[in-house]
């Protein structure tokens, strides 16, 4: 069976035509996880029993002629989302024994949509990383080349979907953690507008940047899943109360006349020539389909990495202060004072990358440095955001590369945090501004996938998904699969 290469639309049609049941579908993916995940390390927890129960319930619903486009579809959850009764580790020793006492809003919504949770995906610790090498549970391997990284922080999510261990996986994106790994594994992923999807029950990293989304095989699949995830949630104070459009219904919006901007800063020095060729080939496809291509500038976007590495650690240092070894999470043994309890629990519970970011954040927020670093970064953030507002006066979408190059080797960048941070040079600006952005498969360099990034205006996910869908109707990059996981 090749159920693991089908799109959600195909699987939903197969379920309704009774070619297979959700239980059979779920078993197929559970079998593949059992067979292949040793090589990939993409799951922290597999929920075989509860998945089969959910699948049986979905089958009963389908038999009654009920359910929606996601009823009976298996999926994997990034281990950053709280799942009631199921371990929720966030990739950290700190939460190695944490069984969440409630569901994140998106977990509830996806359950109500009839999806079947296969398990929880590995990730960089507290979503801090671009290679999935900072996880307490070990690095995740890229299904296209097991000696390379899958990208991060949603590395488990992308490895699972790319290898056909799940049709779709949730993910989160604070500085590129959906788009960069999607790019490195030939998947389609969307980071929605800040506030579009509830963050309730999603373990916080940098609250003014974090947003939930997903990785899948096609833009159409993303539309189905985003439909189920998006919407106002009174439990998230940054959730936006705005109606959710019917994303799938708008996928056929034509490309003709669509104005697409190419930001010159995203094609400057540092971009791999092979990746550039792929991006330019995508540009040619969009032009052929009638899109109007314009050269534009996001003049402050080269400042997005330094801005991010002030803002994100500052917010992280505050968010991660909750891990104190008292109410939940890791607690050090044999401590004599409360201060020692805090320090040793946090010293043992957090890995090196998390500690680095907590310390940078603490430093830039500390007395005497606040204005020079944090306030300054917030001002530069305004300039970066204004660049987007100006650009979206001229164009409908912005197109460029997602990453500077294809997947790098495991261990290549772990010794140099700054080199690792530069992986997100093209993706961070969208988080700082809060605009939605996607990565889509755009070709290969020496057998490794290259991603195309599309960015849209606030709450313009429909146009973004439609453009991606139209591009995927005209190309077949997204149908390519890693041979070892055929």
Catalytic residues: 78, 153, 177
Site membership for another protein, residue 412 (CB under 8 A): no
Q: For another protein, which is the closer residue by CB, 20 or 369?
A: 369
Provide, rounded to whole angstroms, the least separation between the CB of residue 475 and another protein. Answer: 31
Query: Residue 339 Cβ, how far from another protein at the closest point, in Å?
Result: 7
17 binds another protein (CB under 8 A): no
Of positions 46, 253, 292, 385, contacts another protein by CB under 8 A: 385
107 binds another protein (CB under 8 A): no
Of 133, 138, 137, 224, nearest in space to 181 by CA: 133
User: What residues contact 403, with CB distance under 8 A and at least 6 apart?
Assistant: 151, 180, 183, 184, 275, 423, 426, 427, 450, 451
Task: Provide the 3-class DSSP secondary structure of residue 405.
Answer: coil
State in angstroms the smallest separation of the CB of 348 from another protein. Answer: 8
Range 206-225, binding another protein (CB under 8 A) = 208
Place of tokens 């997204």: 478
Distance, CA of 397 to CA of 456 (rounded, Å): 5
Interacting residue with another protein among 205, 421, 471, 477 (CB under 8 A)? 421
| Number of Cβ atoms within 10 Å of the Cβ of 461 | 28
The rounded distance, in Å, linking the Cα atoms of 111 and 28 is 20
Q: Which of 126, 224, 350, 477 is the binder for another protein (CB under 8 A)?
A: 350
Q: Could you count the other beta carbons within 10 Å of the beta carbon of residue 99? A: 13
Among 14, 245, 285, 363, binds another protein (CB under 8 A): 363
**457 is a site residue for another protein (CB under 8 A):** no
Rg (CA), the chain: 21
Considering the rule CB under 8 A, would residue 346 count as an interface residue with another protein? Answer: yes
Touching another protein, residues 113-172 (CB under 8 A): none
Q: Which stretch binds another protein (CB under 8 A): 50-58, 74-82, 281-289, 334-342?
A: 334-342
Q: What is the footprint of another protein within residues 80-99 (CB under 8 A)? A: 97-99
The C-alpha atoms of residue 100 and residue 36 are separated, in whole angstroms, by 27
Q: How far apart are CA 424 and CA 449, in angstroms?
A: 16
Strands (E), 57-166: 74-78, 116-121
Number of residues binding to another protein, judged by CB under 8 A: 75
Q: Which is nearer to another protein, 38 or 367 (CB)?
A: 367
Q: Which range touches another protein (CB under 8 A), out of 11-19, 120-128, 150-158, 375-383?
A: 375-383
Tell me the closest approach of the beta carbon of residue 389 to another protein, in angstroms. Answer: 11
Q: Least CB distance from residue 108 to another protein, whole Å? A: 15
**Helix residue spans in 117-252 (DSSP H):** 155-162, 179-184, 219-229
Binding-site string for another protein from residue 22 to residue 51, where x marks contact by CB under 8 A and - marks none: ------------------------------
Single residue of 343, 414, 444, 445 touching another protein by CB under 8 A: 343
- Distance from C-alpha of 210 to C-alpha of 173, rounded to nearest angstrom: 6
CB of 343 to another protein, least distance (A): 4
Q: Round to whole Å and give the CA distance between 443 and 278.
A: 6
**Closest to 106 (Cα-Cα) out of 229, 232, 235:** 229
State how far the Cα of 158 lies from the Cα of 216, in Å rounded to an integer: 8
Contacts of 344 (CB under 8 A, 6+ apart): 325, 332, 335
Shortest Å distance, C-beta 414 to another protein? 11
Under rule CB under 8 A, residue 264 binds another protein? no
Contact flag: residue 389 with another protein (CB under 8 A): no
From the CB of 55, what's the least distance to another protein, in Å? Answer: 27
Longest dimension (CA), the chain: 70
Query: Which one, of 465, 331, 302, lies nearest residue 397 by Cα?
Result: 465
338 binds another protein (CB under 8 A): yes
Determine which residue in the list 433, 440, 454, 464 makes contact with another protein, applying CB under 8 A. 433
Per the omega criterion (within 30 degrees of 0), is the bond before 165 cis?
no
Binding segment for another protein (CB under 8 A), chosen from 122-130, 324-332, 405-413, 437-445, is: 324-332
């Amino acid at each position: 069976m090749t159920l693991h290469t089908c799109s959600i639309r195909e699987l939903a049609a197969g379920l309704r035509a009774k070619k297979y049941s959700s239980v059979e579908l779920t078993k197929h993916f559970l079998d593949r996880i059992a067979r292949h995940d040793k090589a990939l390390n993409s799951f922290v927890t597999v929920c075989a029993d509860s998945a089969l129960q959910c699948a049986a319930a979905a089958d009963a619903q389908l038999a009654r002629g009920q359910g929606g486009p996601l009823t009976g579809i298996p999926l994997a959850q990034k281990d950053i989302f709280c799942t009631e009764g199921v371990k929720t580790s966030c990739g950290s020793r700190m939460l190695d024994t944490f069984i969440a006492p409630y569901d994140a809003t998106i977990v509830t919504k996806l359950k109500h949509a009839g999806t079947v949770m296969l398990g929880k995906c590995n990730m960089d610790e507290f979503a801090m990383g671009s290679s999935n090498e900072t996880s307490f549970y070990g690095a995740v391997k890229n299904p296209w080349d097991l000696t390379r990284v899958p990208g991060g922080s949603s590395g488990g999510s992308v490895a699972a979907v790319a290898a056909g261990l799940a049709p779709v996986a949730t993910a989160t994106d604070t500085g590129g953690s959906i788009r960069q790994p999607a790019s490195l594994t030939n998947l389609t992923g969307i980071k929605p507008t800040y506030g579009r999807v509830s963050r309730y029950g999603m373990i916080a990293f940098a609250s003014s940047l974090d947003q939930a989304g997903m990785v899948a095989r096609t833009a159409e699949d993303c539309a189905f899943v985003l439909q189920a995830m998006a919407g106002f949630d009174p439990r998230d104070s940054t959730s936006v109360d705005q109606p959710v459009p019917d994303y799938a219904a708008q996928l056929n919006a034509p490309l003709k006349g669509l104005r697409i901007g190419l930001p010159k800063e995203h094609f400057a020095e540092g971009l791999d020539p092979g990746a550039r060729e792929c991006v330019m080939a995508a540009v040619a496809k969009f032009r052929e389909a009638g899109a109007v291509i314009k050269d534009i500038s996001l003049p402050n976007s080269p400042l997005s990495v330094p801005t991010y590495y002030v803002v994100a650690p500052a917010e992280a240092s505050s968010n991660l202060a909750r891990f104190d070894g008292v109410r939940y999470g890791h607690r050090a043994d044999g401590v004599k004072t409360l201060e020692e309890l805090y320090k040793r629990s946090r010293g043992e519970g957090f890995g090196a990358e998390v500690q680095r970011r907590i310390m940078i954040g603490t430093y830039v927020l500390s007395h005497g440095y606040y204005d020079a670093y944090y306030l300054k970064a917030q001002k530069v953030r305004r300039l970066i955001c204004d660049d987007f507002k100006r650009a979206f006066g001229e164009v409908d979408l912005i197109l460029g590369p997602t990453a500077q190059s294809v997947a790098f080797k495991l261990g290549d960048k772990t010794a140099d945090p700054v080199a690792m941070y530069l992986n997100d040079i093209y993706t961070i600006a969208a988080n700082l501004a809060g605009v939605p952005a996607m990565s889509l498969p755009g070709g290969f360099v020496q057998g490794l996938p290259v991603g195309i990034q599309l960015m849209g205006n606030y709450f313009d996910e429909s146009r973004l998904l439609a453009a991606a869908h139209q591009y995927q109707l005209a190309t077949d990059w997204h149908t390519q699969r890693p041979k070892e996981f055929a």
